[in-house]
Each structure stands twice: as structure tokens, then as C-alpha cells.
Amino acid sequence: MPLNLAVQMDPIERINIRGDSTFALLLEAQARGHALSYYTPDRLALRGKDVYATVRPLKVQDVEGGHFALGDERRIELKSFDVILMRQDPPFDLNYITATHLLERLAPATLVVNDPGHVRNAPEKVFVTLFPELMPATLVTRDLAEIRAFRAEHGDIVMKPLYGHGGGAVFRVTSDDLNFGSLYDMFAVTFREPWVVQQWIPGVKRGDKRIILVDGEFAGAVNRVPAADDLRSNMVRGGAAEATDLTPREREICARLGPALRQRGLLFTGIDVIDGYLTEINVTSPTGIRAIKKLGGPDIAAMIWDRIEAMRKR
């Protein structure tokens, strides 16, 4: 049965369709005959108990430079949609959090993917700390004394802002790096949130594996190898995508996380694993599914829509 679908995302004219997972989901939904509408988060409105948005009908095609067409605007109560994809990118700021509060009001009439309340309560670099046994040594703090003690214990470390994304402001600090004090001062002025400080994993040079789970089950993976002159493996930062299989340790990580993801309604998640260590659980706007398919892996967009359609039939 065709579904009435809306996507809440960043401006569609700015996306890079070659690697955009939201675009892959829209192509698959359209191929299945679902009706697409589009809006950006700034078009949300709460009036009384009802949540509205100004939306536009959407058609997509896999053509760079001509990948979308929009119809006329209309203001509509969001409960009239069967499904809403919450797919705007971070930053995970108060604007993002406000959107989760508004979309949370649509249940049970409308299925929001991922569940907005649990997206709000499971930011990538915080949610993952519920599973310390799967992670490298990790500290979350702004306290200089805590960071110094952690560095003294573990030697080389990585520092990154707690709510950063896309590999931005990720630094490796060696045990004898004289820039540590200056870096701390820069972080203190630039970021209001705490920082994540982790033990350096030398195996990152072999890649940072993005593993996709659909409703808590392993769906596919891509290994992202950093450029020779960069520690970051994110593909938007120049990382190269390679086909990959899971190790027994990575399968163990997936099995450990699966029940927690299903329980929270986090249907589409992407976890990051470096040399057998879990580093992040991405729930806001995971990506990687186009790269996985391009490298000969499964069609994860189809898997996600199979699950959404099954949930709507209940």
C-alpha cells in the first residue's frame, strides 16, 4: 500500500547525491510508489497541540544537477503523514532538540524514523558510553586536570567536541605534544560543551569501519581509510571507501547493541568501529548506504523501507 511520506532534511539543493543516504531513501520510496513531500526544519510550527509544516511535493531522480523537482507549498498538519523521515544533519544543538520535541507529538498516528525522543536522548558520543566494555578508554569532560591525568595514563590521545560531527575539530595529541596547552585553550574558547578524550588507536590507519544496522540487525559495512596526511577517515574529509566484511569482534558488537537500538526505535543507525573498538553510535542522520551499495554490498535503502512498510501494517 502506498504511503504518504514527508522528509525533514537540510536544503535538498545542497546535497551531494553520490553519497547522500537520505537521497537513497527517497529514491527507493519513490520507486515503491510512495508519495513524497519535503520541508526543512525551519518550516515547522506548533500551534496548540498540533504540529504543522509548510511542505512541498517532491520528485527525485539520480541525476547530478537535476536531482529534484518541487511542487507548490502547502501548510499541513504533520499527523496527516504516514511516515516522516527525520534526516537533517547535525549540529545537535537546541534547534535540533526542539525539532525532536515537536515530532515526538506525532505518535502514534505518524511513524517518525528515527524515533525523535530517543534521538534526543541518544546523542552519538554520549549514547555509546553506555557500552564502555566495547570502547577504547574514554573521558568526557571540560576539566583540564582530568584531561591531564587521562593523558598521563594513556599517552597519545584524541580530543574532539562532544557534539561535533563529520570529523570536524578532531585532534590527535601525542604524549609529548607541546601544543596541548594551546589546543586546550582553543577548545575552551570555541566550544561550550564538554569534549570527548579517547585513547589513541594506532589501527585507525587501516580504517574506521562504518557498520549499518537496520532495526538492530547488521545490514552492511564500509571501511573508510584516512588519507596519508590526515587522521580522520570520514569520506567528507577525504577518506577512501573500501569493501569489507565483519570480524567476529564486530559481529559481537552488533549483537550487543541490537536489543538497545530496537528498544529505542532507532531503526537506521550507523556505528563506527576502529580496530575492534566501538567509538560512536550515529542515530541523527547516519550515512554510508550509497557507498556500501556502490562497492557491491546490499541495498540498505530497500531493507529500511521493507522494515518501515512492515511497521505501518501493524
Would you please indicate which residues are annotated as catalytic (active-site) residues? 125, 160, 210, 224, 232, 272, 280, 282
How many angstroms separate the CA atoms of 33 and 200, rounded? 47
How many angstroms separate the CA atoms of 177 and 73, rounded? 55
Beta carbons of 286 and 119 less than 8 angstroms apart: no
Q: What are phi and psi of 99, to 5 degrees?
A: -60, -35
Terminal-to-terminal C-alpha distance of the chain: 13
Q: Which three cell numbers stand for residue 98?
A: 526542539
The residue count for the chain: 314
How many angstroms separate the CA atoms of 168 and 297, rounded? 28
Beta carbons of 163 and 90 less than 8 angstroms apart: yes
Residue type, 196: V
Residue type, 12: I
Nearest CA-CA partner of 26 in 3, 51, 44: 3
How many angstroms separate the CA atoms of 118 and 234, rounded? 25
How many angstroms separate the CA atoms of 137 and 135, rounded? 6
Q: Which three cell numbers stand for residue 291?
A: 557507498
Label the pairing between strands 268-274 and 208-214. antiparallel
How many angstroms separate the CA atoms of 142 and 76, rounded? 43
Residue type, 62: D
Label the pairing between strands 111-113 and 83-86. parallel
